[in-house]
């Protein structure tokens, strides 16, 4: 019985010491909210995003209900994005926008959400594998577009609006180009019907983007390969009328124009 009591006392002492250790390890325990914010910003500026995130989380709790807590949420989302944790960054931003719909920083929240989903390699290198973009990439690109669109619609004078507009153009171009890359791949494999379908998708879903010139050219070549001369000639007339200076018809499809993705 005595041994059992001693064991219980020892266990209780260990738990107490562990609790004290946990408390003493929290270096922010006696910090003011401003002190926490200053330290978090220093970590952020130094690129130590994984250290900045927990500091901003502590600040949210210590400064709850104040503008400083709102700022902490936004800065935390940025740090989460920089650590590669897009899902948590999006969750943080969605929570911010739900809780603070009238915040003066709402435009920045939309802009940051667009950036988190934005993939600036969306169309530049996906064609190297001759494969279509994954559903995840297309979904993220479209969500990015929607965030930027809401930003420029609701806050046209926002300091973030010009860059958002440029990125919207990039996204549309890249999504159209991805369809054309796939259409070109199908054509090269002799899958002419599939090539026609993807080229027509690009033409139906997008307007005034560089990729449509090649989409029309693929239609011309695919219809020709299938012996569908009427549709071939119709597509060729549209190509010549829409792009009278097109190099595609004169050099077999090898353009020397500026890459479509060089927008900025």
CB atoms within 10 A of CB 64: 11
Q: Where among 67, 94, 121 does a domain terminate?
A: 94
- The confidence score (pLDDT) of residue 135 equals 42
Q: Which residues of the chain have pLDDT under 70?
A: 1-24, 119-137, 252-264
Q: Are residues 55 and 153 in the same domain?
A: no
Quick one: tokens of 82?
């920089």
**Residue 210: inside a domain:** yes
**Residue 13: inside a domain:** no
Q: d(Cα 56, Cα 40) in Å, to the nearest integer?
A: 6
- The confidence score (pLDDT) of residue 26 equals 76
Q: Are residues 54 and 125 in the same domain?
A: no
Residue 144 near residue 172 (C-beta atoms within 8 A) = no
Integer-rounded Cα Rg, in Å, for the chain is 28
Domain containing residue 41: 32-94
- The confidence score (pLDDT) of residue 141 equals 87
- The confidence score (pLDDT) of residue 3 equals 52
Q: Are residues 192 and 222 in the same domain?
A: yes
CATH code for the domain in which residue 143 is found: 1.25.40.10
Q: Are residues 58 and 163 in the same domain?
A: no
Q: d(Cα 238, Cα 200) in Å, to the nearest integer?
A: 13
In total, how many domains does the chain have?
2
Q: Are residues 116 and 211 in the same domain?
A: yes
- The confidence score (pLDDT) of residue 25 equals 75
Alpha helix stretches (DSSP H) within the chain: 2-25, 33-45, 49-62, 67-82, 86-99, 106-117, 135-154, 161-188, 192-205, 211-225, 229-242, 248-251
What's phi and psi for 89, nearest 5 deg? Answer: -65, -45
- The confidence score (pLDDT) of residue 94 equals 97
Rounding to the nearest 10 degrees, give the CA dihedral for residues 122, 124, 129, 132. Answer: 40
CATH code for the domain in which residue 77 is found: 1.25.40
- The confidence score (pLDDT) of residue 15 equals 54
Coil, helix or strand at residue 132 = coil
Q: Are residues 133 and 73 in the same domain?
A: no
């Amino acid at each position: 019985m005595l041994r059992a009591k001693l064991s219980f006392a020892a266990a209780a002492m260990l738990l107490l010491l562990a609790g004290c250790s946990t408390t003493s390890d929290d270096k922010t325990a006696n910090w003011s909210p401003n002190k926490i914010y200053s330290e978090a910003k220093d970590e952020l500026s130094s690129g130590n995003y994984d250290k900045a995130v927990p500091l901003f989380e502590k600040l949210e709790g210590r400064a709850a209900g104040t503008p400083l807590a709102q700022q902490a949420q936004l800065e935390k989302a940025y740090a989460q994005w920089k650590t590669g944790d897009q899902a948590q960054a999006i969750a943080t931003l969605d929570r911010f926008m739900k809780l603070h719909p009238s915040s003066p920083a709402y435009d920045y929240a939309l802009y940051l959400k667009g950036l988190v989903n934005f993939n600036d390699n969306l169309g530049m290198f996906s064609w190297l594998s001759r494969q279509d973009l994954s559903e995840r990439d297309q979904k993220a690109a479209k969500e990015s577009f929607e965030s930027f669109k809401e930003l420029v619609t609701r806050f046209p004078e926002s300091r973030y609006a010009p860059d958002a507009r440029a990125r919207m153009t990039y996204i549309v171009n890249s999504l159209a180009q991805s369809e054309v890359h796939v259409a070109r791949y199908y054509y090269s494999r002799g899958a002419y019907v599939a090539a026609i379908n993807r080229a027509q998708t690009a033409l139906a879903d997008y307007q005034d983007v560089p990729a449509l010139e090649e989409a029309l050219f693929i239609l011309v070549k695919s219809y020709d390969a299938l012996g569908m001369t009427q549709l071939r000639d119709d597509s060729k007339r549209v190509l010549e009328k829409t792009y009278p200076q097109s190099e595609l018809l004169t050099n077999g499809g090898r353009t020397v124009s500026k890459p479509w993705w060089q927008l900025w």
